Structures are given as structure tokens and as C-alpha cells.
Structure 1
């Protein structure tokens, strides 16, 4: 039996007027779960360069990548899946996060700007997202089961 590989991904935390940008990347209404924009890392490209690419693909926005702020692990043990997400603080360089936008690849189906006090009205992962996004902490979010 082969050992499953750990998938590495990068995600960006963008606050716009004190609201956090989150996306739904479950096409066809499969889930209402929201997450920070980002995605899988491609080899031979830095983590920040990967994040700039992934953030633009998922939102149409151009960002500058700042400091890392969160490492989150999740897995589906019965399916051999394990992913490590590295979150960075990002700042907006170009684009309008309040304007209508459609993902040309059809992966991201929704884009939300959410105030901290409204986070409880949404399903999102990881659970530590509000604490990290609205503070200066650097955090490790221990291995948790995959949620859909």
C-alpha cells in the first residue's frame, strides 16, 4: 500500500473595510461551506507567488502577500486525504471585491465580505478563522477531519 501524499495549499486573508473575504468553492451547490481564497501549490514557484495566482483565479483580485499567520491541517483518514493550508495576510492591489464576478472555471460559486459579528451566520473552516483574521496572532490549527 502506498503512503498518501500530503497536499500543500496556500490561502489569503483579505480584510476590506474590516470585512473578511470568503469564497464557496463547491460548484453546483454541493455545500454552503466557505473558506479563504487560495489553492494548491505548484512546484518551483514560491508560496507567495502561488497565492497571488490562486487568489486571482478564485476572486479576480490582485493581492500583495504579507506574513504567514495560520497553519491548518485537515484530513479524511478513510480516503487517504491530508492537506496542510498555510494562510497569509494579503492586501488588495487591484480589483473590486464588491463588484459582481463570475469564476471562468466555475469552481468558485460565491464571494462574500463578512463582518466579524456576522461570522456566526455562516459555515466556514477552519474554526480559528475569525480569531486569526481579526488579530495579529500567528496560529497552528491542529489536524481536524475534513468537512463538506
Structure 2
């Protein structure tokens, strides 16, 4: 068991035309796992400002941040890694998805919108992503699970 604090990250659930925006956040596309855009929180920056910055870097989109809707946590006990992701419902206020966009950090290599039906054919995390994105109820909690690549 590690004495380090969990890493905190923010993620955006962006629905457009009933399709959810997902990114492949693996340098060089080494995994086919998709997730919501976002990233690690920066000390001294609000969670909303952090999310706005991360989404712009990864997608080129400007967003408005809405209500939180999911808390997810995962870990890799071998490395002592533990991350807590806070998901917020967001809307696009400017920009379009473009294949020519480059993530300044080079992490996100692909970005696209998926329908709920299309999501059945891809690998994504967390498992509760569709329920959180298309659900209308209370916020969800997805308990600690092992890190998947």
C-alpha cells in the first residue's frame, strides 16, 4: 500500500447529436481503449478551468462545464498508482473536431463522436460511461478497479 495521495483528474462528457465524444489517450495509439477527454488536475487551477484547458488541448474544442455526473477511480497496485476521475456534463461553445488537430502533449492521437450503439463495438473505460453520458438521474460512483490498457 502506497502513502502517496491519489491523482485527481477531470473528464468531460460531451454529447452532440446524441453521440459521445471520446479520445484515444495512448501515445502512438498503443491501445484501442477509448475514454472521455480530460486530464490531471493542476494545483492552484479550478477543476472547471483544468477541464476547459485539457479538452482544448486534446480536441481543439472550447467547452462550457456543467454539473458533475460521475466519480470513477482506478489503480495499478504494482506501481502504487491510484487515480480519481471527476466527470462533468459539458457542451461545446466553439470549434469542431478535426483530424488535423494535434494535442500539444502528443498523448491523444484520435478523437471522435460515438453513438450509444457504436460504443458496443469498442473498448472504453469506465464501464459506466454510457450510463453517465446518456443517463438523466443522480450522479454515479464507479468503485475502484484495476487499471486497463
- Which sections of structure 2, spanning at least 5 residues, go unmatched? none
What does residue 30 of structure 1 align with?
30
What does residue 59 of structure 1 align with?
59
CA distance in 2, matches of 1:84, 1:75: 9
CA distance in 1, matches of 2:57, 2:140: 26
> SS of 1:79's equivalent?
coil
CA distance in 2, matches of 1:144, 1:29: 23
What does residue 140 of structure 2 align with?
139
Is residue 79 from structure 1 mapped to residue 61 from structure 2 by the alignment? Answer: no
Q: How does the TM-score come out when normalised to structure 2?
A: 0.94
> SS of 2:78's equivalent?
helix
Preserved contact between residue 58 and residue 102 of structure 2 (Cα < 8 Å): no
Deviation at 1:103, TM superposition (A): 2.2
> SS of 1:85's equivalent?
strand
CA distance in 2, matches of 1:2, 1:130: 32
Moved over 4 A (4+): none
Preserved contact between residue 63 and residue 94 of structure 2 (Cα < 8 Å): yes
Deviation at 1:132, TM superposition (A): 0.8
What does residue 68 of structure 2 align with?
68
Q: CA RMSD in A?
A: 1.3
- 1:47-91: CA deviation from partner (whole Å, max 9, x where unpaired): 111100111111110000000000000000111000000000000
Is residue 129 from structure 1 mapped to residue 132 from structure 2 by the alignment? Answer: no
> SS of 1:56's equivalent?
helix
Is residue 45 from structure 1 mapped to residue 40 from structure 2 by the alignment? Answer: no
- Which sections of structure 1, spanning at least 5 residues, go unmatched? none
Preserved contact between residue 52 and residue 65 of structure 2 (Cα < 8 Å): yes
CA distance in 2, matches of 1:2, 1:86: 22
CA distance in 2, matches of 1:4, 1:44: 19
- 1:27-65: CA deviation from partner (whole Å, max 9, x where unpaired): 112111100000000111111111001111111100000
CA distance in 2, matches of 1:142, 1:89: 20
Q: How many positions carry a matched residue from both structures?
A: 147
